[in-house]
Structure 1
Amino acid sequence: MPEITLLGTGSPIPDPNRAGPSTLVRADGQVFLVDCGRGVLQRAAAVGVGAGGLSALLLTHLHSDHIAELGDVLITRWVTNFAPDPEPLPIIGPPGTAEVVEATLKAFGHDIGYRIAHHDDLTAPPPQDVRECTEGTVWHRDGVTIRVAPTDHRPVAPTIGFRIESGGASVVLAGDTVPCDSLDELAAGADALVHTVIRKDIVTHSPQQRIKDICDYHSSVQEAAATANRAGVATLVMTHYVPAIVPGQEEQWRALAATEFGGHIELGDDLHRVEVHARH
C-alpha cells in the first residue's frame, strides 16, 4: 500500500517550520520524490530516506520553490552513492526540465570538478536520466505504474500532475494548478489526491498586487476540494498552504474543504504521513 509523506508544506516565503513544496510517495519498495523545495533532504532524512535511496525525482513544474533543492539532490546522491557504476537518477518532468538540470550541473561545475580531482572513485559528473513529458505512462516497473497529464498553472507552462498506482491503490499529485478537465481525468477514482491550496479569502486582501496575483493560477481550498469531489477520490490531502496554517486553525481549513468534498480530508505540518488503501 502506498504511503504519502508531506516533506515540505510551505510556499516561496521562507518559514522556519515548513520546508518548501515536496512530497514523498513510497510504494512497493520504491521511493518517489515529487518536487524538491528548500530543505527537502533534511526532511527526507527525518523519515529515513537519503538521496541515494530515491527511485526517481518527479517534477510537476519549474517554479523556483518546487526545484530549489535540485542541485542538492543531484550532488548529494552522487557523493553518497558508493556503487562502482551508479545508476543514473531518473528525473521526470515537463519540457524544460533537461535544460534546468543541465544548467544546475553547470552551476555546480566547480564543486563537481573539485570532487572528481579529490576522490579516485569519482570519475564522472552526477549521472541522471531526464525524461520530459506532458502525458501518458512514464514508469512501469516492479509493480508501480506512473501516468502523467497536463495541469493548468499558466503562464507557467507546461505543468503536469502524476498518478502513481501500486497494489491496486492510486495516488495523484496535482502540483500547482487551477481546476481543469485534464486533472479531473487523471484523478478519476483515485484513492488519494495531494493538492496545493491557498486561502483566496485571505490572500485577496493583501495590499501587494504581486501577492494577489497568485490567486489566478492556484486553486483555493474549496476549488481543490471540488476537484476531489468531481474526480470521486477517497481522500484529499492538502499541502503547500498559502498563507501558512496558523496553529489552531486547522479545522477552519478542513471545514472550508468540507463545503465541497464529503470524503476524508488530511492536512498537517511537515512530515505528516497518510497511508493509502485501495477501495474494494
Structure 2
Amino acid sequence: MIEVTLLGTGSPIPDPDRAGPSTLIRAGEQTFLVDCGRGVQQRLAAAGSGANALTALLLTHLHSDHIADLGDVIITRWITTFTPDPAPLQIIGPPGTADVVAATLKAFGHDIGYRIAHHADLTGPPAVEVHEYTEGVVWDADGVRIVAAPTDHRPVAPTIGFRIEHDGASVVLAGDTVPCEGLDTLAAGAGALVHTVIRHDLVEAIPLQRIRDICDYHSTVEQAADTAARAGVGILILTHYVPSPARGQYDDWRALAATVFDRQIECGDDLHRVLVHPGVCSTSP
C-alpha cells in the first residue's frame, strides 16, 4: 500500500486555509516529500511526520511556489536530527536543482554559522546530496522504485513527474504540466495519478492578463481527467487548485472530472489522505 497525503493544495496566491504545493508519500518504511511549497513544515507536523523523517525530497520543477520552503526543510532536518553522522538529505529534481540548493545554503549561511558556533554536536553544515534527472530510474531501494519522466510546463523547463512503486502499488505525481507524452508514459496503468489542476472557465474571467497567462501551461480539470483515462489509472487525485475551491465546491470540480474519467476521483483540503492498494493497476512504464 502507498499512502498519499495532500499536504498543500494551494497556489502561488496566499490562502489562509491552504499551504503551497506539496504531497507526502509513505511507501513501506520510506517517506517522500514531493515539492515543498509554503507552510509545508506545519502540514508535515499535522500529518505526523517531519523533515527529519524524510527519506528523500523530490522536486518536480523550480517554480517558487513549489520550492518556497526548501531552506526551512533543509535547516529543520539538520537541527532536529540527533543521531550521530546522519544520512544526507537526498534531493532529487530536474537540472538546475543543484544550483538552487547551493544558493539556498548560501542564503542560510549566517544561520548555519550561528548554530555550529552554539551547538557542540553540530560540527558541519547540513548534509545534502543532490541528484538531477530528466528521465529514468531515480530511486531503487528497500522495495521502493521511483521513475522520472519529462513533462511540459514550458517556458519552465525542464520539468519532471515521478512514478513511485512499492509492493504492487503505484502512484504518479504529475506536477505542473499540460497533457504530454512523457506523462502519458509515466502514468500508464498506475494505481493513482496526483495531478495539479486549474479551472480555465474561472481564470479566463479574471481581468488581469498575468493571471490569465497561467492557462497556457497548466492542465484543466478535464485535461487531467483525460490524461488519467487515457493512461488507465485507477484513482485520479486533484490538487494545487487554481482558483481555490470554496467550501462545498469540490463536487463541482469532481463533476467536471467525471465527464471524462469514470473511476475514483479524489479532491479535498490540505491533509486529505488517499490509500492506494496493490493491484489497482500495476503496469510499469
TMscore range, shorter length: over 0.9
Shift of 1:217: 0.2
Aligned length: 280
Shift of 1:115: 0.3
TM-score (norm 1): 0.99
> Which residue identity is paired with 1:17?
D
Instruction: Give the secondary-structure state (helix, strand or coil) at the position aligned to 1:74.
Output: helix
**Correspondence 1:189-208 to 2 at 5 A:** 189-208=189-208
Shift of 1:55: 0.2
Shift of 1:47: 1.3
Shift of 1:184: 0.3
What percent identity do the matched residue pairs reach? Answer: 74
Tell me, yes or no, if structure 1 residue 140 matches structure 2 residue 154.
no
After superposition, the C-alpha distances for 1:112-168 in whole angstroms (9 at most, x for unaligned) are 000000111111110001000000001011110000000000000000000000010
User: For residue 104 of structure 1, what is the aligned residue in structure 2?
Assistant: 104
User: For residue 243 of structure 2, what is the aligned residue in structure 1?
Assistant: 243
Tell me, yes or no, if structure 1 residue 80 matches structure 2 residue 106.
no
User: For residue 118 of structure 1, what is the aligned residue in structure 2?
Assistant: 118
After superposition, the C-alpha distances for 1:50-100 in whole angstroms (9 at most, x for unaligned) are 110000000000000000000000000000011111110000000000000
Instruction: Give the secondary-structure state (helix, strand or coil) at the position aligned to 1:244.
Output: coil
User: For residue 283 of structure 2, what is the aligned residue in structure 1?
Assistant: none
User: For residue 262 of structure 1, what is the aligned residue in structure 2?
Assistant: 262
User: For residue 14 of structure 2, what is the aligned residue in structure 1?
Assistant: 14
Shift of 1:279: 2.2
**Structure 2 CA distance for aligned equivalents of residues 111 and 121 of structure 1:** 16
Listed as ranges, the gaps of 5+ residues in structure 2 are 281-285
After superposition, the C-alpha distances for 1:171-227 in whole angstroms (9 at most, x for unaligned) are 000000000011000000000000000000100111000000000100000000000
**Correspondence 1:193-232 to 2 at 5 A:** 193-232=193-232
User: For residue 187 of structure 2, what is the aligned residue in structure 1?
Assistant: 187
**Structure 2 CA distance for aligned equivalents of residues 100 and 39 of structure 1:** 19
**Structure 2 CA distance for aligned equivalents of residues 50 and 216 of structure 1:** 35
> Which residue identity is paired with 1:145?
R
User: For residue 167 of structure 1, what is the aligned residue in structure 2?
Assistant: 167
Listed as ranges, the gaps of 5+ residues in structure 1 are none
Q: What is the root-mean-square deviation of aligned Cα atoms in Å?
A: 0.6
Structure 1 stretches of 4+ moved >3 Å:
none
TM-score (norm 2): 0.98
> Which residue identity is paired with 1:183?
L
User: For residue 66 of structure 1, what is the aligned residue in structure 2?
Assistant: 66
After superposition, the C-alpha distances for 1:219-244 in whole angstroms (9 at most, x for unaligned) are 00000000000000000000000000
